[in-house]
Chains A and B, each alone.
Chain A
Protein backbone atom coordinates (compact mmCIF):
# COMPACT_ATOMS: atom_id res chain seq x y z
CA UNK A 1 0.00 0.00 0.00
CA UNK A 2 2.82 2.30 0.98
CA UNK A 3 4.62 1.52 -2.25
CA UNK A 4 1.48 2.07 -4.27
CA UNK A 5 1.04 5.53 -2.74
CA UNK A 6 4.65 6.37 -3.53
CA UNK A 7 4.27 5.32 -7.13
CA UNK A 8 1.02 7.29 -7.42
CA UNK A 9 2.60 10.42 -5.94
CA UNK A 10 5.57 10.09 -8.28
CA UNK A 11 3.26 9.54 -11.24
CA UNK A 12 1.22 12.61 -10.37
CA UNK A 13 4.40 14.64 -10.04
CA UNK A 14 5.63 13.52 -13.45
CA UNK A 15 2.21 14.26 -15.00
CA UNK A 16 2.23 17.71 -13.36
CA UNK A 17 5.70 18.45 -14.72
CA UNK A 18 4.82 17.39 -18.28
CA UNK A 19 1.38 18.92 -18.47
CA UNK A 20 0.90 21.89 -16.17
CA UNK A 21 4.40 23.29 -16.25
CA UNK A 22 4.42 23.51 -20.09
CA UNK A 23 2.22 26.58 -20.44
CA UNK A 24 1.25 28.14 -23.74
CA UNK A 25 3.88 30.85 -24.45
CA UNK A 26 1.30 33.64 -24.55
CA UNK A 27 3.77 36.39 -23.82
CA UNK A 28 6.14 35.22 -26.53
CA UNK A 29 3.22 35.10 -28.99
CA UNK A 30 2.19 38.63 -28.07
CA UNK A 31 5.77 39.87 -28.39
CA UNK A 32 6.10 38.28 -31.82
CA UNK A 33 2.78 39.76 -32.96
CA UNK A 34 3.82 43.18 -31.69
CA UNK A 35 7.12 42.85 -33.54
CA UNK A 36 5.23 42.14 -36.81
CA UNK A 37 2.84 45.01 -36.13
CA UNK A 38 5.79 47.32 -35.64
CA UNK A 39 7.11 46.28 -39.08
CA UNK A 40 3.72 47.16 -40.61
CA UNK A 41 3.72 50.46 -38.71
CA UNK A 42 7.16 51.20 -40.17
CA UNK A 43 5.57 50.80 -43.66
CA UNK A 44 6.85 47.29 -44.16
CA UNK A 45 3.70 46.53 -46.17
CA UNK A 46 4.99 48.99 -48.79
CA UNK A 47 8.76 48.74 -48.57
CA UNK A 48 9.35 45.18 -47.31
CA UNK A 49 6.42 43.23 -48.72
CA UNK A 50 8.26 39.94 -49.24
CA UNK A 51 9.93 40.04 -45.84
CA UNK A 52 6.63 40.84 -44.15
CA UNK A 53 5.02 37.92 -45.89
CA UNK A 54 7.77 35.64 -44.56
CA UNK A 55 7.29 36.97 -41.05
CA UNK A 56 3.57 36.33 -41.27
CA UNK A 57 4.21 32.83 -42.60
CA UNK A 58 6.59 32.15 -39.72
CA UNK A 59 3.99 33.45 -37.29
CA UNK A 60 1.41 31.09 -38.77
CA UNK A 61 3.85 28.20 -38.46
CA UNK A 62 4.60 29.12 -34.84
CA UNK A 63 0.90 29.32 -34.05
CA UNK A 64 0.38 25.92 -35.69
CA UNK A 65 3.15 24.49 -33.56
CA UNK A 66 1.58 25.96 -30.41
CA UNK A 67 -1.82 24.54 -31.38
CA UNK A 68 -0.34 21.14 -32.14
CA UNK A 69 1.49 21.00 -28.81
CA UNK A 70 -1.54 22.21 -26.88
CA UNK A 71 -3.43 19.14 -28.06
CA UNK A 72 -0.73 16.76 -26.77
CA UNK A 73 -0.64 15.26 -23.33
CA UNK A 74 3.06 15.87 -23.01
CA UNK A 75 3.32 19.48 -24.19
CA UNK A 76 6.63 20.80 -25.40
CA UNK A 77 6.63 24.48 -26.35
CA UNK A 78 10.40 24.78 -26.69
CA UNK A 79 10.33 24.70 -30.49
CA UNK A 80 7.44 27.19 -30.63
CA UNK A 81 9.29 29.53 -28.29
CA UNK A 82 12.36 29.32 -30.50
CA UNK A 83 10.25 30.08 -33.56
CA UNK A 84 8.61 33.04 -31.85
CA UNK A 85 11.95 34.39 -30.68
CA UNK A 86 13.27 34.10 -34.23
CA UNK A 87 10.26 36.08 -35.49
CA UNK A 88 11.12 38.91 -33.10
CA UNK A 89 14.75 38.92 -34.22
CA UNK A 90 13.78 38.74 -37.91
CA UNK A 91 11.18 41.50 -37.48
CA UNK A 92 13.84 43.74 -35.98
CA UNK A 93 16.12 43.01 -38.95
CA UNK A 94 13.32 43.77 -41.42
CA UNK A 95 12.46 46.99 -39.59
CA UNK A 96 16.09 48.00 -39.82
CA UNK A 97 15.96 47.57 -43.61
CA UNK A 98 12.93 49.82 -44.12
CA UNK A 99 14.42 53.30 -43.52
CA UNK A 100 17.06 52.69 -46.20
CA UNK A 101 14.41 51.51 -48.65
CA UNK A 102 12.22 54.53 -47.91
CA UNK A 103 15.22 56.77 -48.40
CA UNK A 104 15.99 55.03 -51.69
CA UNK A 105 12.40 55.47 -52.91
CA UNK A 106 12.39 59.10 -51.77
CA UNK A 107 15.67 59.80 -53.55
CA UNK A 108 14.33 58.21 -56.73
CA UNK A 109 11.17 60.33 -56.51
CA UNK A 110 13.11 63.54 -55.83
CA UNK A 111 15.50 62.74 -58.68
CA UNK A 112 12.56 62.18 -61.04
CA UNK A 113 10.98 65.40 -59.80
CA UNK A 114 14.20 67.34 -60.43
CA UNK A 115 14.41 65.95 -63.95
CA UNK A 116 10.75 66.74 -64.60
CA UNK A 117 11.20 70.29 -63.30
CA UNK A 118 14.25 70.76 -65.51
CA UNK A 119 12.26 69.60 -68.53
CA UNK A 120 9.36 71.94 -67.66
CA UNK A 121 11.78 74.87 -67.18
CA UNK A 122 13.42 74.11 -70.51
CA UNK A 123 10.03 73.98 -72.23
CA UNK A 124 9.08 77.31 -70.63
CA UNK A 125 12.31 78.96 -71.75
CA UNK A 126 11.93 77.58 -75.25
CA UNK A 127 8.33 78.78 -75.47
CA UNK A 128 9.43 82.26 -74.47
CA UNK A 129 11.83 82.48 -77.37
CA UNK A 130 9.71 80.48 -79.79
CA UNK A 131 9.08 82.06 -83.17
CA UNK A 132 5.58 83.53 -83.03
CA UNK A 133 5.30 83.91 -86.71
CA UNK A 134 2.68 83.02 -89.21
CA UNK A 135 1.24 79.60 -88.57
CA UNK A 136 3.01 79.07 -85.24
CA UNK A 137 1.40 81.64 -82.95
CA UNK A 138 -1.66 79.54 -82.21
CA UNK A 139 0.44 76.43 -81.66
CA UNK A 140 2.74 78.27 -79.26
CA UNK A 141 -0.21 79.59 -77.25
CA UNK A 142 -1.73 76.11 -77.14
CA UNK A 143 1.57 74.66 -75.96
CA UNK A 144 1.79 77.32 -73.26
CA UNK A 145 -1.62 76.26 -72.01
CA UNK A 146 -0.54 72.61 -72.15
CA UNK A 147 2.56 73.47 -70.18
CA UNK A 148 0.45 75.23 -67.55
CA UNK A 149 -1.46 71.96 -67.12
CA UNK A 150 1.81 70.05 -66.88
CA UNK A 151 3.07 72.49 -64.24
CA UNK A 152 -0.05 71.80 -62.20
CA UNK A 153 0.76 68.10 -62.44
CA UNK A 154 4.34 68.86 -61.36
CA UNK A 155 2.98 70.55 -58.24
CA UNK A 156 1.09 67.33 -57.50
CA UNK A 157 4.44 65.48 -57.53
CA UNK A 158 5.51 67.58 -54.54
CA UNK A 159 2.20 66.86 -52.84
CA UNK A 160 2.79 63.13 -53.34
CA UNK A 161 6.34 63.44 -51.95
CA UNK A 162 5.04 65.37 -48.95
CA UNK A 163 2.49 62.62 -48.43
CA UNK A 164 5.35 60.07 -48.61
CA UNK A 165 3.82 58.43 -51.68
CA UNK A 166 7.23 58.12 -53.30
CA UNK A 167 6.33 55.51 -55.90
CA UNK A 168 3.30 57.53 -57.03
CA UNK A 169 5.38 60.72 -57.08
CA UNK A 170 8.02 59.08 -59.24
CA UNK A 171 5.47 57.77 -61.75
CA UNK A 172 3.87 61.19 -62.06
CA UNK A 173 7.24 62.92 -62.41
CA UNK A 174 8.24 60.52 -65.17
CA UNK A 175 5.07 61.32 -67.13
CA UNK A 176 5.47 65.07 -66.54
CA UNK A 177 9.03 64.90 -67.85
CA UNK A 178 7.90 62.96 -70.91
CA UNK A 179 5.17 65.51 -71.70
CA UNK A 180 7.45 68.51 -71.12
CA UNK A 181 10.13 66.94 -73.29
CA UNK A 182 7.49 66.47 -75.98
CA UNK A 183 6.75 70.21 -75.90
CA UNK A 184 10.49 71.01 -76.01
CA UNK A 185 10.83 68.85 -79.11
CA UNK A 186 7.85 70.54 -80.80
CA UNK A 187 9.19 74.02 -80.08
CA UNK A 188 12.67 73.05 -81.26
CA UNK A 189 11.13 71.69 -84.46
CA UNK A 190 9.22 74.98 -84.93
CA UNK A 191 12.45 76.98 -84.41
CA UNK A 192 14.25 74.81 -86.94
CA UNK A 193 11.37 75.23 -89.38
CA UNK A 194 11.56 79.01 -89.11
CA UNK A 195 15.36 78.96 -89.45
CA UNK A 196 15.01 76.87 -92.57
CA UNK A 197 12.78 79.41 -94.31
Chain B
Protein backbone atom coordinates (compact mmCIF):
# COMPACT_ATOMS: atom_id res chain seq x y z
CA UNK B 1 0.00 0.00 0.00
CA UNK B 2 2.84 2.33 1.01
CA UNK B 3 4.75 1.50 -2.20
CA UNK B 4 1.68 2.13 -4.30
CA UNK B 5 1.40 5.61 -2.76
CA UNK B 6 4.98 6.40 -3.54
CA UNK B 7 4.57 5.17 -7.12
CA UNK B 8 1.44 7.23 -7.57
CA UNK B 9 3.27 10.28 -6.21
CA UNK B 10 6.07 9.91 -8.74
CA UNK B 11 3.58 9.27 -11.54
CA UNK B 12 1.73 12.45 -10.61
CA UNK B 13 4.96 14.41 -10.53
CA UNK B 14 5.96 12.99 -13.92
CA UNK B 15 2.61 13.73 -15.49
CA UNK B 16 2.49 17.27 -14.11
CA UNK B 17 5.66 18.14 -16.01
CA UNK B 18 8.67 17.44 -13.84
CA UNK B 19 10.55 15.76 -16.61
CA UNK B 20 14.01 16.09 -18.18
CA UNK B 21 13.93 19.43 -19.99
CA UNK B 22 14.70 19.29 -23.72
CA UNK B 23 18.15 20.33 -24.93
CA UNK B 24 17.92 24.00 -25.97
CA UNK B 25 18.07 24.52 -29.77
CA UNK B 26 20.86 27.05 -29.22
CA UNK B 27 23.26 24.18 -28.60
CA UNK B 28 22.83 22.88 -32.15
CA UNK B 29 22.79 26.43 -33.55
CA UNK B 30 26.11 27.13 -31.87
CA UNK B 31 27.63 24.03 -33.49
CA UNK B 32 26.39 25.04 -36.91
CA UNK B 33 27.62 28.59 -36.40
CA UNK B 34 31.06 27.44 -35.30
CA UNK B 35 31.37 25.49 -38.54
CA UNK B 36 30.15 28.53 -40.52
CA UNK B 37 32.74 30.75 -38.89
CA UNK B 38 35.51 28.31 -39.64
CA UNK B 39 34.39 28.01 -43.26
CA UNK B 40 34.22 31.79 -43.56
CA UNK B 41 37.86 31.98 -42.48
CA UNK B 42 37.23 33.69 -39.14
CA UNK B 43 40.75 32.89 -37.95
CA UNK B 44 42.08 35.00 -40.82
CA UNK B 45 39.58 37.84 -40.87
CA UNK B 46 38.89 38.32 -37.15
CA UNK B 47 41.51 36.29 -35.25
CA UNK B 48 41.09 38.01 -31.87
CA UNK B 49 37.29 37.97 -31.85
CA UNK B 50 37.22 34.39 -33.12
CA UNK B 51 39.58 33.22 -30.39
CA UNK B 52 37.39 34.91 -27.80
CA UNK B 53 34.31 33.32 -29.36
CA UNK B 54 35.91 29.86 -29.27
CA UNK B 55 36.85 30.30 -25.62
CA UNK B 56 33.29 31.39 -24.76
CA UNK B 57 31.71 28.53 -26.61
CA UNK B 58 34.08 26.08 -24.98
CA UNK B 59 33.22 27.31 -21.50
CA UNK B 60 29.52 27.33 -22.25
CA UNK B 61 29.73 23.77 -23.52
CA UNK B 62 31.61 22.71 -20.43
CA UNK B 63 28.90 24.26 -18.29
CA UNK B 64 26.30 22.48 -20.43
CA UNK B 65 28.11 19.15 -19.96
CA UNK B 66 28.24 19.77 -16.22
CA UNK B 67 24.53 20.50 -16.16
CA UNK B 68 23.88 17.28 -18.03
CA UNK B 69 25.57 15.31 -15.27
CA UNK B 70 22.62 16.15 -13.04
CA UNK B 71 19.53 13.96 -12.96
CA UNK B 72 17.07 15.02 -15.62
CA UNK B 73 14.63 16.47 -13.11
CA UNK B 74 17.19 18.84 -11.70
CA UNK B 75 18.61 20.18 -14.95
CA UNK B 76 18.01 23.82 -15.65
CA UNK B 77 19.00 25.18 -19.03
CA UNK B 78 17.69 28.75 -18.75
CA UNK B 79 20.98 30.33 -17.78
CA UNK B 80 22.90 28.18 -20.23
CA UNK B 81 20.48 29.15 -22.94
CA UNK B 82 21.29 32.80 -22.30
CA UNK B 83 25.00 32.09 -22.39
CA UNK B 84 24.63 30.23 -25.69
CA UNK B 85 22.55 33.09 -27.08
CA UNK B 86 25.18 35.65 -26.10
CA UNK B 87 27.88 33.55 -27.76
CA UNK B 88 25.75 33.06 -30.86
CA UNK B 89 25.17 36.83 -31.04
CA UNK B 90 28.90 37.45 -30.89
CA UNK B 91 29.37 34.80 -33.61
CA UNK B 92 26.75 36.52 -35.77
CA UNK B 93 28.61 39.80 -35.32
CA UNK B 94 31.88 38.15 -36.40
CA UNK B 95 30.16 36.60 -39.43
CA UNK B 96 28.67 39.95 -40.41
CA UNK B 97 32.10 41.57 -40.08
CA UNK B 98 33.68 38.88 -42.23
CA UNK B 99 30.97 39.25 -44.86
CA UNK B 100 31.50 43.00 -44.92
CA UNK B 101 35.25 42.67 -45.22
CA UNK B 102 34.89 40.09 -47.97
CA UNK B 103 32.49 42.34 -49.84
CA UNK B 104 34.93 45.23 -49.53
CA UNK B 105 37.85 43.14 -50.74
CA UNK B 106 35.78 41.74 -53.61
CA UNK B 107 34.78 45.29 -54.49
CA UNK B 108 38.39 46.52 -54.38
CA UNK B 109 39.47 43.64 -56.61
CA UNK B 110 36.59 44.36 -58.97
CA UNK B 111 37.58 48.03 -59.22
CA UNK B 112 41.20 47.14 -59.82
CA UNK B 113 40.26 44.50 -62.36
CA UNK B 114 38.12 47.02 -64.22
CA UNK B 115 41.00 49.55 -64.25
CA UNK B 116 43.44 46.94 -65.53
CA UNK B 117 40.92 45.77 -68.12
CA UNK B 118 40.60 49.35 -69.36
CA UNK B 119 44.39 49.66 -69.52
CA UNK B 120 44.55 46.39 -71.43
CA UNK B 121 41.94 47.60 -73.92
CA UNK B 122 43.81 50.87 -74.49
CA UNK B 123 47.10 49.10 -75.01
CA UNK B 124 45.43 46.53 -77.23
CA UNK B 125 43.99 49.34 -79.33
CA UNK B 126 47.39 51.03 -79.51
CA UNK B 127 49.16 47.81 -80.47
CA UNK B 128 46.55 47.24 -83.18
CA UNK B 129 46.96 50.78 -84.47
CA UNK B 130 50.64 50.34 -85.19
CA UNK B 131 50.53 46.64 -86.00
CA UNK B 132 52.53 45.49 -83.03
CA UNK B 133 52.17 41.72 -83.28
CA UNK B 134 55.16 40.76 -81.25
CA UNK B 135 55.98 40.73 -77.57
CA UNK B 136 53.59 43.49 -76.52
CA UNK B 137 50.53 41.86 -78.06
CA UNK B 138 51.45 38.42 -76.72
CA UNK B 139 51.99 39.78 -73.23
CA UNK B 140 48.66 41.62 -73.39
CA UNK B 141 46.95 38.38 -74.32
CA UNK B 142 48.64 36.62 -71.39
CA UNK B 143 47.62 39.45 -69.09
CA UNK B 144 44.04 39.05 -70.21
CA UNK B 145 44.12 35.34 -69.28
CA UNK B 146 45.61 36.20 -65.89
CA UNK B 147 43.03 38.90 -65.30
CA UNK B 148 40.23 36.42 -65.88
CA UNK B 149 41.94 33.96 -63.53
CA UNK B 150 42.04 36.68 -60.87
CA UNK B 151 38.29 37.12 -61.38
CA UNK B 152 37.73 33.41 -60.82
CA UNK B 153 39.85 33.50 -57.67
CA UNK B 154 37.95 36.48 -56.30
CA UNK B 155 34.72 34.62 -57.04
CA UNK B 156 35.97 31.76 -54.85
CA UNK B 157 36.88 34.27 -52.10
CA UNK B 158 40.58 33.53 -52.63
CA UNK B 159 41.39 37.20 -52.22
CA UNK B 160 45.06 36.87 -51.39
CA UNK B 161 45.63 34.74 -54.47
CA UNK B 162 43.57 37.15 -56.58
CA UNK B 163 45.66 40.06 -55.28
CA UNK B 164 48.84 38.18 -56.19
CA UNK B 165 47.50 37.49 -59.66
CA UNK B 166 46.59 41.13 -60.16
CA UNK B 167 50.14 42.10 -59.17
CA UNK B 168 51.42 39.75 -61.89
CA UNK B 169 48.95 41.26 -64.37
CA UNK B 170 50.30 44.74 -63.57
CA UNK B 171 53.87 43.52 -64.20
CA UNK B 172 52.94 41.91 -67.50
CA UNK B 173 51.02 45.00 -68.62
CA UNK B 174 53.98 47.15 -67.66
CA UNK B 175 56.22 45.01 -69.82
CA UNK B 176 53.85 45.34 -72.77
CA UNK B 177 53.59 49.06 -72.09
CA UNK B 178 57.38 49.31 -72.21
CA UNK B 179 57.42 47.72 -75.64
CA UNK B 180 54.67 50.06 -76.85
CA UNK B 181 56.39 53.10 -75.36
CA UNK B 182 59.67 52.30 -77.09
CA UNK B 183 57.76 52.30 -80.37
CA UNK B 184 55.69 55.34 -79.54
CA UNK B 185 58.29 57.54 -77.92
CA UNK B 186 58.86 59.45 -81.15
CA UNK B 187 55.15 60.16 -81.34
CA UNK B 188 55.17 61.82 -77.95
CA UNK B 189 58.32 63.86 -78.52
CA UNK B 190 57.35 67.51 -79.03
CA UNK B 191 60.52 68.35 -81.03
CA UNK B 192 59.87 65.45 -83.39
CA UNK B 193 56.24 66.50 -83.82
CA UNK B 194 57.31 70.10 -84.47
CA UNK B 195 59.72 68.85 -87.13
CA UNK B 196 56.94 66.83 -88.83
CA UNK B 197 54.62 69.84 -88.67
CA UNK B 198 57.28 72.02 -90.27
CA UNK B 199 57.70 69.53 -93.11
CA UNK B 200 53.93 69.45 -93.71
CA UNK B 201 53.66 73.28 -93.57
CA UNK B 202 56.54 73.68 -96.04
CA UNK B 203 54.82 71.25 -98.42
CA UNK B 204 51.51 73.13 -98.17
CA UNK B 205 53.34 76.45 -98.63
CA UNK B 206 55.06 75.04 -101.71
CA UNK B 207 51.68 73.92 -103.09
CA UNK B 208 50.32 77.43 -102.48
CA UNK B 209 53.35 79.25 -103.84
CA UNK B 210 53.69 77.14 -106.97
CA UNK B 211 49.96 76.56 -107.47
CA UNK B 212 50.48 72.80 -107.57
CA UNK B 213 49.01 69.65 -106.04
CA UNK B 214 50.77 68.18 -102.98
CA UNK B 215 50.19 65.13 -100.81
CA UNK B 216 50.68 64.96 -97.05
CA UNK B 217 50.44 61.56 -95.34
CA UNK B 218 50.14 61.34 -91.57
CA UNK B 219 51.07 57.82 -90.46
CA UNK B 220 49.58 57.75 -86.98
CA UNK B 221 46.23 59.02 -88.16
CA UNK B 222 46.52 56.87 -91.29
CA UNK B 223 45.27 59.80 -93.33
CA UNK B 224 46.30 61.29 -96.65
CA UNK B 225 45.37 64.91 -97.46
CA UNK B 226 45.56 66.30 -100.99
CA UNK B 227 46.31 70.01 -101.29
CA UNK B 228 45.70 72.12 -104.35
CA UNK B 229 47.21 75.59 -104.33
CA UNK B 230 47.65 75.28 -100.57
CA UNK B 231 44.06 74.24 -99.86
CA UNK B 232 42.96 70.81 -98.70
CA UNK B 233 40.74 69.37 -101.41
CA UNK B 234 40.50 65.69 -100.49
CA UNK B 235 41.21 63.29 -97.62
CA UNK B 236 41.59 59.50 -97.72
CA UNK B 237 42.31 56.61 -95.36
CA UNK B 238 45.59 54.83 -96.01
CA UNK B 239 47.32 51.62 -95.01
CA UNK B 240 50.98 51.32 -94.03
CA UNK B 241 53.69 48.71 -93.71
CA UNK B 242 53.69 45.81 -91.22
CA UNK B 243 55.99 48.03 -89.17
CA UNK B 244 54.41 51.16 -90.55
CA UNK B 245 54.82 53.53 -87.63
CA UNK B 246 58.61 53.14 -87.61
CA UNK B 247 60.74 55.31 -89.87
CA UNK B 248 62.19 53.30 -92.74
CA UNK B 249 65.93 52.77 -92.39
CA UNK B 250 66.76 49.79 -94.57
CA UNK B 251 65.26 47.16 -96.85
CA UNK B 252 63.13 44.52 -95.22
CA UNK B 253 62.24 46.55 -92.12
CA UNK B 254 58.63 46.82 -93.36
CA UNK B 255 58.58 50.43 -92.17
CA UNK B 256 57.08 53.37 -94.05
CA UNK B 257 59.60 56.18 -94.69
CA UNK B 258 59.20 59.70 -93.31
CA UNK B 259 60.38 62.78 -95.18
CA UNK B 260 59.78 65.00 -98.19
CA UNK B 261 59.57 63.07 -101.46
CA UNK B 262 58.25 63.49 -104.98
CA UNK B 263 56.37 61.24 -107.36
CA UNK B 264 58.87 59.84 -109.83
CA UNK B 265 56.71 57.42 -111.79
CA UNK B 266 53.02 56.80 -112.47
CA UNK B 267 52.38 53.08 -113.06
CA UNK B 268 48.90 52.37 -114.38
CA UNK B 269 49.35 48.56 -114.42
CA UNK B 270 50.83 47.72 -111.05
CA UNK B 271 50.26 44.36 -109.29
CA UNK B 272 48.41 46.52 -106.76
CA UNK B 273 46.08 48.04 -109.32
CA UNK B 274 47.87 51.39 -109.95
CA UNK B 275 50.97 52.82 -108.30
CA UNK B 276 52.79 56.11 -107.75
CA UNK B 277 56.50 55.56 -107.14
CA UNK B 278 58.22 58.03 -104.84
CA UNK B 279 61.91 58.88 -104.67
CA UNK B 280 62.79 56.92 -101.55
CA UNK B 281 65.66 56.95 -100.57
CA UNK B 282 66.21 60.68 -100.78
CA UNK B 283 69.47 62.36 -99.75
CA UNK B 284 68.46 62.54 -96.09
CA UNK B 285 67.55 58.82 -96.07
CA UNK B 286 70.91 57.93 -97.60
CA UNK B 287 72.77 59.98 -95.00
CA UNK B 288 70.87 58.34 -92.12
CA UNK B 289 71.43 54.87 -93.61
CA UNK B 290 75.17 55.47 -93.96
CA UNK B 291 75.42 56.74 -90.38
CA UNK B 292 73.50 53.73 -89.06
CA UNK B 293 75.77 51.37 -90.98
CA UNK B 294 78.83 53.10 -89.66
CA UNK B 295 77.53 52.67 -86.12
CA UNK B 296 76.77 49.03 -86.99
CA UNK B 297 73.14 49.52 -86.08
CA UNK B 298 72.24 47.52 -89.16
CA UNK B 299 74.04 44.47 -90.62
CA UNK B 300 76.61 45.24 -93.34
CA UNK B 301 74.84 43.12 -95.98
CA UNK B 302 71.49 44.93 -95.70
CA UNK B 303 70.63 47.49 -98.37
CA UNK B 304 68.70 50.73 -98.03
CA UNK B 305 65.69 49.41 -99.95
CA UNK B 306 63.51 51.20 -102.44
CA UNK B 307 60.42 50.92 -104.62
CA UNK B 308 58.25 52.69 -102.07
CA UNK B 309 54.92 53.50 -103.68
CA UNK B 310 51.45 54.78 -103.07
CA UNK B 311 49.39 51.96 -104.53
CA UNK B 312 45.93 50.44 -104.68
CA UNK B 313 44.81 47.12 -103.29
CA UNK B 314 43.03 48.45 -100.21
CA UNK B 315 43.95 50.31 -97.07
CA UNK B 316 44.38 47.17 -94.95
CA UNK B 317 47.59 48.31 -93.31
CA UNK B 318 49.74 45.42 -94.34
CA UNK B 319 52.27 46.48 -96.96
CA UNK B 320 56.04 46.04 -96.82
CA UNK B 321 56.45 49.78 -96.31
CA UNK B 322 54.33 51.30 -99.10
CA UNK B 323 51.21 53.40 -98.62
CA UNK B 324 48.08 51.63 -99.79
CA UNK B 325 44.66 53.04 -100.64
CA UNK B 326 41.42 51.69 -102.04
CA UNK B 327 41.36 51.21 -105.81
CA UNK B 328 38.66 53.89 -106.24
CA UNK B 329 40.81 56.35 -104.31
CA UNK B 330 43.76 55.35 -106.45
CA UNK B 331 41.80 56.25 -109.60
CA UNK B 332 41.01 59.67 -108.15
CA UNK B 333 44.54 60.22 -106.94
CA UNK B 334 46.04 59.09 -110.21
CA UNK B 335 44.17 61.80 -112.05
CA UNK B 336 45.15 64.50 -109.55
CA UNK B 337 48.92 64.11 -109.47
CA UNK B 338 51.81 64.49 -111.85
CA UNK B 339 55.41 63.35 -111.94
CA UNK B 340 57.16 65.69 -109.49
CA UNK B 341 54.13 66.14 -107.20
CA UNK B 342 55.47 66.59 -103.65
CA UNK B 343 54.64 63.76 -101.22
CA UNK B 344 55.44 64.45 -97.59
CA UNK B 345 55.14 61.59 -95.11
CA UNK B 346 55.13 62.42 -91.41
CA UNK B 347 54.60 60.49 -88.19
CA UNK B 348 51.78 62.63 -86.84
CA UNK B 349 50.52 66.19 -86.91
CA UNK B 350 48.46 65.86 -83.76
CA UNK B 351 50.20 65.58 -80.45
CA UNK B 352 46.94 65.05 -78.58
CA UNK B 353 45.72 62.07 -80.59
CA UNK B 354 43.00 60.15 -78.77
CA UNK B 355 45.02 56.99 -78.36
CA UNK B 356 48.03 58.76 -76.91
CA UNK B 357 45.86 60.90 -74.74
CA UNK B 358 44.40 57.72 -73.28
CA UNK B 359 47.88 56.28 -72.92
CA UNK B 360 49.16 59.32 -71.10
CA UNK B 361 46.02 59.79 -68.99
CA UNK B 362 46.37 56.29 -67.57
Interface of A toward B, CB cutoff 8 Å: 53, 64, 68, 133-138, 141-142, 144-150, 152-153, 171-172, 174-176, 178-179
Contact = CB atoms under 8 A, between A and B. Distances in A.
B167 interface: no
Given A53-B38, A145-B134, A153 B316 contact: no
Interface string B214-247: 0000000000000000000000000000100000
Interface of B: 35, 38, 58, 62, 127-128, 131-134, 137-142, 144-146, 148-149, 152-153, 242, 313-314, 316-318
Chain A residues touching B, majority SS: helix
A150 B141 contact: yes
B149 A172 contact: yes
B141 A135 contact: no
Given A142-B128, A172-B149, A178-B148, A148 B318 contact: no
28 contacts: A64-B58, A136-B316, A137-B318, A138-B128, A138-B131, A141-B131, A141-B242, A141-B318, A142-B127, A142-B137, A145-B138, A146-B140, A146-B141, A148-B138, A148-B141, A149-B138, A149-B145, A150-B141, A152-B138, A153-B141, A153-B142, A171-B149, A175-B148, A175-B149, A178-B148, A179-B144, A179-B145, A179-B148
A175 B145 contact: yes
A145 B317 contact: no
Given A146-B141, A149-B137, A150-B141, A171 B152 contact: yes
Contact of A149 (B58, B62, B139, B149): B139
Nearest to A174: B152
Contacts, number: 77
B323 to A, nearest CB: 15
A133 B314 CA distance: 9
Chain B residues touching A, majority SS: helix
Contacts of B146: 153
B133 A141 contact: yes
B141 A171 contact: no
B282 to A, nearest CB: 28
A121 B132 CA distance: 23
A137 B316 contact: yes
B119 to A, nearest CB: 16
B38, B140, B142, most chain A CB atoms within 10 A: B142
Nearest to A147: B141
Contact of A176 (B38, B139, B145): B145
A68 B132 CA distance: 72
A133 B132 CA distance: 19
Contacts of B313: 134
Nearest to B327: A134
Nearest to A176: B145
Contact of A150 (B35, B131, B145): B145
A174 B133 CA distance: 25
Nearest to A64: B58
Nearest to B147: A175
B316 A134 contact: yes
Nearest to B314: A134
Nearest to A139: B128
